[in-house]
Amino acid sequence: QSVLTQPPSVSGAPGQRVTISCTGSSSNIGAGHDVHWYRQLPGTAPKLLIYRNTNRPSGVPDRFSGSKSGTSASLAITGLQAEDEADYYCQSYDSSLWVFGGGTKLTVL
Amino acid sequence: EVQLVESGGGLVQPGGSLRLSCAASGFIFSSYWMTWVRQAPGKGLEWVANINQDKSQIYYVDSVKGRFTISRDNAKNSLYLQMNSLRAEDTAVYYCARFGKNNWEIDYWGQGTLVSVSS
């Protein structure tokens, strides 16, 4: 049972928009701690996608965006592409623990 | 170019020990918090341990406290994870990773090393 809750799976057709939620509590996201997002392609290490809730590292397309409100955060992907099919994880901080969501598998139909 | 290269993984019996190493290059290693994150087969990511730049702050997930020890050698640009009393549930790919300068984001990851605990 992860401290941060993500839907196990989401799907969308090429070109569509999908969102992935990350629900926490008053001790992590709700306490004001930042949320970061990672993408993990099959058989590879995770890669930073969004940091500090809304910021994209250099090289990450603006199709990816993040938001945060209250005890939750979301990752949005627009203009869905086949190569976006991967696992996505949110991460935050909670009382001297660094916590990840359980991960969401994105399937591009 | 930032590189993190793990080594030391392998097959070990329950109760055994293993020491993972991570060779860092392409950045000033002594300026960054470092971390180990693991991923059991087919499962999600789990934070394991952190260490700050001068080794004065160290944190562990509860499930490894008393069994694992994170350390670093800034002169050798290396991060370590000593794992004792290994259990089947410690079986995972272990990633060495670097915390960025913003707010606990992990901006670089190694390729991972597989630790299998089985008799």
Tell which B residues from 9 to 68 touch A, by Cβ distance under 8 Å: 35, 37, 44-47, 50, 59, 61
State how beta strands B10-12 and B34-39 pair: unpaired
pLDDT of A31 higher than 90: yes
Angle formed at CA A38 by CA A37 and CA A39, multiple of 5 degrees: 135
Instruction: Give the closest-approach CA distance of B8 to chain A in angstroms.
Output: 17
If you measure CA to CA, which chain A residue comes closest to B36?
Answer: A98
Question: Does residue B106 sit at the A interface (CB-CB below 8 Å)?
Answer: yes
B102 or A15, which is more confident? A15
Candidates A76, A72, A51; CA nearest to A64 is: A76
Q: How far is B88 from chain A (nearest CA, A)?
A: 19
For the cut 80, the answer to whether the pLDDT of residue B102 exceeds it is no
Residues of chain A whose C-beta is under 8 A from some C-beta in B? 2, 33-34, 36, 38, 40, 44-48, 51-52, 55, 57, 87, 89, 91-93, 96-103
For the segment A36-47, what is each residue's pLDDT rounded down to a tens digit?
999 999 999 999
Average predicted confidence (pLDDT) for chain A = 95
CB–CB contact B105 A97 (8 Å): no
What pLDDT sits at residue B101? 85
pLDDT grade for A75, boundaries at 50, 70 and 90: very high
**Residue A96: its pLDDT value, please?**
81
Class of residue B45 by CB neighbours under 10 A (exposed 0-12, middle 13-18, buried 19+): buried
Mean pLDDT throughout B56-74?
Answer: 97
